[in-house]
Chain A
Amino acid sequence: MKKLSNFIVPLFFIVFGIACLTMSSTAFHTHNPLHHLLESLLGICLFLCIPVMLGIVYMWFKKRKK
């Protein structure tokens, strides 16, 4: 139970943060906002993934070296 909440709370924070960023990056796109919303959501997630990916690759590399 505790383990689950340990996972859920930070995840909630991250999702909320992504929502904030998506909203503000769509704020000035008054034309076809839904399209821009999805587009910027994708963009933000991509940029978020780059450092996370780097971390994962590093860990995988370390594991393989062992």
Chain B
Amino acid sequence: MKINSITTKLGGSIMILFLVVLFPLMYTIDQLFTAFYVNQQKDQIKHFAAEYSTYISDVADVHSYHMFDMLSELMDADFFVFNKEGQILQSTVGSSFEKGTNVHDDLFQSIRNNQSAGMEYKADRESFFLAGHPIIVEDQVNGGLVVVSNMEEVNRSIEQVRFWLFISVVGALFIAIGFTFFVSRKLSSPLLQMEKATREIAKGNLKTNLEMAAKDEVGSLAAAITDLGRELEEYRTNRREFFANISHELRTPISYIKGYSKVLRDGLVQNEEEKNQYLRIIEEESARLTALINDLFELAKMEEGKLELHFEWLDVEDILNSAVKKVSLKASEKKIDVLLRPSADDPLLYTDGVRLEQILMNLIENAIRYSEPESTVEMYTKVEKHYIHLFIQDFGMGIPDEDAPYIFDRFYRVEKSRSRASGGTGLGLAIVKNLVELLGGDIELKSTSDKGTIFKLSFPIDKKGSVDG
């Protein structure tokens, strides 16, 4: 058993607690017994002294004392009688109170004053108790009777009781140790289990499942550890996928560039037109590569929180207009109308204009890219209590329900081949999501396959309650 383990510490604490209670209890019980026995004995002796002193009618009549010899044998106690001068007249006691000697002064004084007296006396390592009572003859104190009892017998009984008391304390201690074993192990086992699980997680075994029945703090800690493992697991697969995606995305344009430049260098082109076509592909692919790297850089900055934002009060309508202007070329290439529906109120928003425009442009570009030619893209705003909502609606191919939850993941594209054909990398919405969150907003989407998509952006405006008009 390890000394420095939680089980040992817990068990030790329980035991110490137990001893703290047990030792004073033992002492108290011992005192109780001792006092009880000694008192009982003393009372008995005093009672005898009082009783027998009444039988004596004349202190000087030494012959009447023979009955005390007999009583002394029967009761296992000794007697002596003294006269009113304190001289012992008759004694069954051995050495200490011999006939003819004077009685102890303390005893003598109180008896002379017609009071009974008790006294402890030690001789030859044995302790005695003396109980004296005055002898009254014709209403006069005529002397005293003293009963001497050896307390050793009582002390021996007390010793015996003390011994068995000690044995029972030891027994109680053992029972406590036994139960402490169970209890401390039961209490510490979830902790030990969790320690093991966390070690497993640290080692990379992330699929640890801690089944904990308890609904207390320990149980919730176990749940937290399980969640932590899951989170890490998710993070790891995410990272693995990210690297796989990134290398794939980088490799494709590079292989195009490499292939076509090789063709050009080897002079395998038949005519000028073909050459121009290849050059155009190379240019497109390098532009794509640049865009990809820029996007990645942007995302990395955002995720590390290193993106600088410049907040100011801006008119949402203005930003929408400038975004529409910027995408108008792409829209006209596909003959798509981008309509900005005017709204009743003209809200101001405390935000970063550049970033908000970037968000809008990404969404409008998507709307254009994933719609059939000659359709429309609509935009409108709505102010609702403490929020402003921006809607970007298209009537294109839509996003299937099963893809919707992943649409904001990096590199996620609904139909890889078609998206690639239209030049997408799958980073656009990831950037949008990050930016929206940085600006303190929220993004939702509603989409039906083949009917179209609506992206809804919500930003809080309650900060200074600034709704113009």
Contacts and interface: CB of A to CB of B under 8 A. Distances in A.
Interface in A1-27: 6, 9-14, 16-25, 27
Contacts of B23: none
Given A17-B173, A17-B174, A18-B175, A10 B182 contact: yes
Interface in B174-220: 174-182, 185, 213, 215
A10 B11 CA distance: 12
A32 to B, nearest CB: 18
Given A6-B185, A27-B164, A21 B178 contact: no
B302 interface: no
Interface residues of A, number: 21
A17 B167 contact: no
A22 B171 CA distance: 9
Contact of A10 (B160, B167, B179): B179
A48 interface: yes
Would you call the interface of chain A mostly helix, strand, loop, or mixed?
A: helix
Interface residues on B, range: 20 to 34
Given A18-B171, A20-B170, 17 more contacts: A10-B177, A10-B181, A14-B175, A16-B174, A17-B172, A17-B173, A17-B176, A18-B175, A20-B172, A21-B172, A21-B175, A23-B164, A24-B171, A25-B168, A27-B164, A48-B175, A66-B215
Interface of A: 6, 9-14, 16-25, 27-28, 48, 66
25 contacts: A6-B181, A6-B185, A10-B178, A10-B181, A11-B178, A13-B175, A13-B177, A14-B174, A14-B178, A17-B171, A17-B172, A17-B176, A17-B177, A18-B171, A18-B175, A20-B168, A21-B171, A21-B172, A22-B171, A24-B167, A25-B168, A27-B167, A28-B164, A48-B175, A66-B215
Interface of B: 160, 164-165, 167-168, 170-182, 185, 213, 215
